Amino acid sequence: MLLVRKPEALDAAYIPDNLKLREKEIQAIEQAVIQPLRSGSSNVMMVYGPSGVGKTTTMKFIQKTFGDIAVLYENAIAHTSMRQVLLDSLNRLGRINPSLFLSYESIFGYLNKYQARTGKKILLIVDEARNCLRSDPEGLRIISKAHETFGTMISVIFVSIENPINFVPGITGNMGIIFSTLRFRQYDVEELYSIAMERCRIALIDEAYDEVIVRYIAGMAEQFGSARVAIELLQKAAHIAEYRNSGTIGSDDVRAARAMINPFFTESKLGELDIDELIMLWTICRCIGHGVRTNVSCVSKMLSDTAQSFGVKLRKSMNVYRVLRRLENMGLVESRIMGMGDRKGVNKVIEINDLPVSVLSEKIERLIRGIA
Ligand SMILES: Nc1ncnc2c1ncn2[C@@H]1O[C@H](COP(=O)(O)OP(=O)(O)OP(=O)(O)O)[C@@H](O)[C@H]1O
Ligand SMILES: [Mg+2]
């Protein structure tokens, strides 16, 4: 029996026609970025907040809503320089294959021509901006001064999970960059319920769901405060119910969906890691291989060989335990002290329990090759 009548509404990329529960954030962006841009003052905003709280959706919504401004959206997950991001935008504006060696002057010169032609001011949204903010603070400075230096009316919103103040050294200090910040907070259970309920109405036939089951889903997603988790649970549960030929989603379908999804392993979470951390996580995958777990000695031993094989130089000050702690705090690995058998002492063992190691290492590899 078919329960899903509009599958695309359960897709991660779906943008609802009206975006509820983020009205305040949209208003804040309109006041701090859009209005000033309209009246001729360019500026920079940092948007941040945990995974699944609607940052990307809100940005896409803004792109759809403010037609008087040219809103360029770039996902910068694999980018480490602002120049690359700008070149992608030029591409999007129809300038085919801009060369990587194009100077900033030519890049902004092209944007100026575009502005003169269309009469539109530009808002550049850089999503998944952590890597490029971290590795190219100078590019950030140049973009934020583009109006003064090149006469380009451009404002920029950078989107990341963590507040850039925590990972861009000197961003509030002598770099002279002025920016505003906007934090997206997690959704509470009532908000998750209303988001999931609305998605049911759009995507499913009426008989497929009731209040009880949607509350159950919202309750499961509450731990993460994430609308992505709620919607993914809904999508998987609906398909499982369809598969067993049921006319409604049952609580066991939701449990089965819960076992299938992995809120911890979103691409964006990996995107938060720097190159040392990615190499370390990849090494952990390698060490685990087909086994159940590995330990710190194995990882330490293989680390530099791995880095070399990717052509990456690890930071001299890199501390294996500190990186491990960060991976653990992010929910990517689990570790504990374990006895190695009689008189062999103890070792810190590391496990990855939420995703097949083969899938994870493939994702990491793609990211490393993008960055290195
Ligand atoms: N206020 C909302 N109303 C309806 N749907 C929402 C809302 N907020 C988020 N969603 C849905 O939740 C899912 C995740 O949202 P989104 O991708 O925007 O999160 P994010 O904050 O960008 O997460 P990440 O940091 O992992 O990229 C999307 O499917 C989106 O449609
Ligand atoms: Mg996002």
Nearest to 86 by CA among 67, 68, 72, 96: 72
Residue 133 lies in a domain: yes
Residue 1 lies in a domain: no
Please give the order of strands across the beta sheet that includes 70-75.
70-75, 122-127, 154-160, 44-48, 179-183
Q: Biggest alpha carbon distance in the chain?
A: 77
Residue 61 lies in a domain: yes
Residue 12 lies in a domain: no
pLDDT at residue 264, as a whole number:
53
Kindly state the percentage of the chain with pLDDT values over 90: 71
- Residue given tokens 């961003």 in the structure block: 171
- Same domain, yes or no: 210 and 284: no
DSSP state for residue 186 in the 8-state scheme: P
Please give the order of strands across the beta sheet that includes 346-351.
294-295, 346-351, 334-339
Max avg pLDDT among 27-36, 272-281, 289-298, 362-371 = 27-36
- Same domain, yes or no: 217 and 240: yes
Give distance in angstroms: CA of 326 to centre of ligand 2: 21
Give distance in angstroms: CA of 15 to centre of ligand 1: 9
pLDDT digits (tens, 9 = 90+) for 281-318: 999 999 999 888 999 999 999 999 999 999 999 988 88
Query: Which residues, in sequence order, are bridge partners of residue 262?
Result: none
- Same domain, yes or no: 198 and 238: yes
CATH of the domain at 74: 3.40.50.300
- Same domain, yes or no: 177 and 312: no
Label residues 50-74 b or e (16+ Cβ within 10 Å = b).
bbbbbbbbbbbbbbeebeebbbbbb
Give distance in angstroms: CA of 5 to centre of ligand 2: 26
How confident is residue 97, by pLDDT bands cut at 50, 70 and 90? low
More confident residue, 363 or 193: 193
- Same domain, yes or no: 176 and 191: no
Residue 15 lies in a domain: no
Determine if ligand 1 sits within 6 Å of the CB of residue 221: no
Determine if ligand 1 sits within 6 Å of the CB of residue 54: yes
- Label the pairing between strands 294-295 and 334-339: unpaired
CATH of the domain at 323: 1.10.10.10
Q: Of the candidates 163, 183, 203, which is a domain's last residue? A: 183
pLDDT at 255 over 80: yes
- Same domain, yes or no: 177 and 191: no
Residue 8 lies in a domain: no
Domain count of the fold of the chain: 3
- Same domain, yes or no: 34 and 178: yes
- Same domain, yes or no: 215 and 343: no
Token digits for 141? 């400075």
CATH of the domain at 200: 1.10.8.60
Question: Phi and psi dihedrals of 291, rounded to 5?
Answer: -85, -170
Ligand closest in space to the Cα of 21: 1
CA atoms within 13 Å, Cβ hemisphere of 91: 12
Q: Of the candidates 260, 294, 318, which is a domain's last residue? A: 260
Residue 198 lies in a domain: yes
DSSP state for residue 4 in the 8-state scheme: B
Nearest to 43 by CA among 144, 120, 125, 124: 144
Q: Of the candidates 152, 183, 214, which is a domain's last residue? A: 183
- Same domain, yes or no: 100 and 240: no
pLDDT at 80 over 70: yes
How confident is residue 330, by pLDDT bands cut at 50, 70 and 90? confident
Say how many Å lie between the first and final Cα of the chain, rounded: 48
- Same domain, yes or no: 72 and 30: yes
- Same domain, yes or no: 179 and 241: no
pLDDT at residue 172, as a whole number:
84
Residue 145 lies in a domain: yes
Token digits for 41? 């003052």
Question: Phi and psi dihedrals of 296, rounded to 5?
Answer: -60, -35
| pTM for this predicted structure | 0.78
Determine if ligand 1 sits within 6 Å of the CB of residue 265: no
Determine if ligand 1 sits within 6 Å of the CB of residue 130: no
- Same domain, yes or no: 246 and 277: no
Range of the domain at 244: 187-260
Give distance in angstroms: CA of 78 to centre of ligand 1: 20
